Structure 1
Amino acid sequence: MHTLPSALERRIFNKAGYLTGFALGGFFDGILLHQVLQWHHLLSAVDRAPFGDLRMQVLADGLFHAAMYVIALIGIWMMIRSRTWLARNGSGRLLIANALIGFGAWHVVDAVLSHWLTGIHRIRMDSPNPLFWDLLWFAVFGILFIIAGIALRRRAGLTEGRGGTIASILAAITAAGAAASALPPSSADLMPTATVLLRPGASPAQLLAALEQNDARIVWNSARGDVWVFALGKNSNASAFYRHGAIFVSGTLLPAGCASFLSTRRPEGTI
């Protein structure tokens, strides 16, 4: 008769699923978005020398995939170490559930770090509204996969109530990214900014009418007029834009990392 696996083996088994799923998330991103659809490279928004060269962009993608291989190999090694767990009823479902959580975690981490904090790339670099694609990818391949994994863990009957902990950790990562991006610029020469997304049917004229009373000026706007970036003065209140047609307002440094590569799309008359 087989003895029950130790608590250590169980933790290793769980980590194996998380790491394998995380690596699969990276491979999914790299293969589909970098190579098949060619929507972006890892460093697409970094155009200073030598990264503007396509060969350097491809090299960065290759190093990224190599890192995912290392993470996948660590996950497989952990799975082999905890292989006695595979004989337990429901363990296969638990492994898949953990992999789903890891897969979703990759997209959460990628969105927070790569899209919104460092701004090294966006999901669709050629889109006039990159925030839409970032949020869509974040929700579908990040949040939904994590929720599916947590639900499957509970159905597996082998959990210890850690699903909520996992969700809390990932929520904290996302909140930390949002908080960090909301910090004021480190340079005294830069003004704080607000990224404003208009709700459907709202008129840009309604939003622009609020500029003078809100002590703000235009930095950038999308070609369709649904996304705006404003530099805020000392007396500005970013939340006031909600009263003038905004559905989302972020007091953030996002434009420095994500709107700069769209500067060629600025309509005439913007600053």
Structure 2
Amino acid sequence: MTGNRFSNHSYSARNVWSGVLFGIGLMALIDEIIFHQLLQWHHFYDDSTTQVGIFSDGILNAFALFAVVGGLFMYADLRRKHTVHMLKWIASVLIGTGSFQLFDGLINHKLLRIHQVRYTVEILPYDLAWNTAGFILLTSGILLLIKSKHRQAEE
């Protein structure tokens, strides 16, 4: 019986880590593609030359792809073992996306000041939208994760 509990706990944690890793990578890719490449509002690191900014975007892209692929490999292993808890995994994806967004908005934008959402505009509406979106994603993920734990306890 103890082995089953450990096994269930282990798979539960893998569901969470798979979703969080995928969510972080997904949001990093969305940020990179939309705000760095298509809109060209900023680079990951803007306190240097454009060349350094583009290089830093490449590093962010590599990290994002690694996180997405790693999260999906973990998810595929969970599927193969028939241990996916979809509600828990989706909750974890939301936690990952919201965590990345808030970390970027609060740490990268405000604390470290390595870039802003956008330049040459009134920044407050952009900051509020960016951080509010991250907070909503993170909070939604946490609430859904709590719901998934209650649902799993009932089963």
Q: TM-score, normalised by structure 1?
A: 0.49
C-alpha contact (below 8 Å) 2:15/2:88 kept by paired residues? no
Once residues 101 and 16 of structure 1 are traced to their aligned partners in structure 2, the CA distance between those partners, rounded to angstroms, is: 11
Structure 1 residues 22 and 158, CA, compared in 2 at 3 Å: closer, same or farther? Answer: farther
Greater RCO, CA 8 A, separation 6+? 2
Contact 2:18–2:72 (Cα < 8 Å) also in 1: yes
Q: Unaligned 5+ residue runs, structure 2? A: none
2:106 and 2:131 in contact (8 A); partners too: no
Q: Does 1:108 align with 2:108?
A: no
Q: Is residue 125 of structure 2 the alignment partner of residue 132 of structure 1?
A: yes
Q: Among residues 57, 61, 65, which one is paired with 1:61 in the alignment?
A: 57
Any conservation in 2 of the 1:94–1:158 contact (CA below 8 Å)? no
Larger Cα Rg: Structure 1 or Structure 2? Answer: 1
- AA aligned to 1:73 is V
What is the alpha-carbon distance in structure 2 between the residues aligned to residue 85 and residue 103 of structure 1?
23
In the TM superposition, 1:3-152 aligns within 5 A as: 5-44=7-46, 46=47, 51-52=48-49, 54-83=50-79, 84-86=82-84, 91-127=85-121, 129-140=122-133, 142-152=134-144
| Cα deviation 1:162-209 (Å, max 9, x = unaligned) | xxxxxxxxxxxxxxxxxxxxxxxxxxxxxxxxxxxxxxxxxxxxxxxx
Q: Could you tell me which residue of structure 2 aligns to residue 226 of structure 1?
A: none
Amino acid at match of 1:121: H
Kindly indicate whether the alpha-carbon contact (under 8 Å) linking 1:16 and 1:76 is maintained by their aligned counterparts in 2: yes
Q: How far apart in 1 are the matches of 2:108 and 2:132?
A: 16
Mapping 1:251-266, distance limit 5 Å: none
Query: How many aligned residue pairs are there?
Result: 145
Per-residue deviation, residues 207-235 of structure 1 (Å, max 9, x unmatched): xxxxxxxxxxxxxxxxxxxxxxxxxxxxx
Secondary structure, aligned partner of 2:152: coil
- Which residue identity is paired with 2:25? A
Measured against aligned partners, the alpha-carbon deviations of 1:145-170 in whole angstroms (never above 9, x if no partner) come to 112212322343237xxxxxxxxxxx
- The 2-side partners of 1:155 and 1:126 are apart by 43
Q: Over aligned residue pairs, what C-alpha RMSD do you find?
A: 1.9
Q: Please list every run of at least 4 consecutive aligned residues from structure 1 whose deviation after the TM superposition is greater than 4 angstroms.
A: none
In terms of fraction of residues, the more strand-rich structure is 1
Change (3 A) 1:102 1:158: farther
Deviation at 1:93, TM superposition (A): 2.2
Percent of pairs with identical residues:
27
Residue 18 to residue 158, structure 1, CA distance change in 2 (3 Å): farther
Instruction: Report the AA paired with residue 137 of structure 2.
Output: F
Cα displacement string for residues 71-125 of structure 1 (whole angstroms, at most 9, x for unaligned residues): 2222223223333322xxxx22221111011100001111222111110101112
Query: Secondary structure in 2 aligned to 1:119?
Result: coil
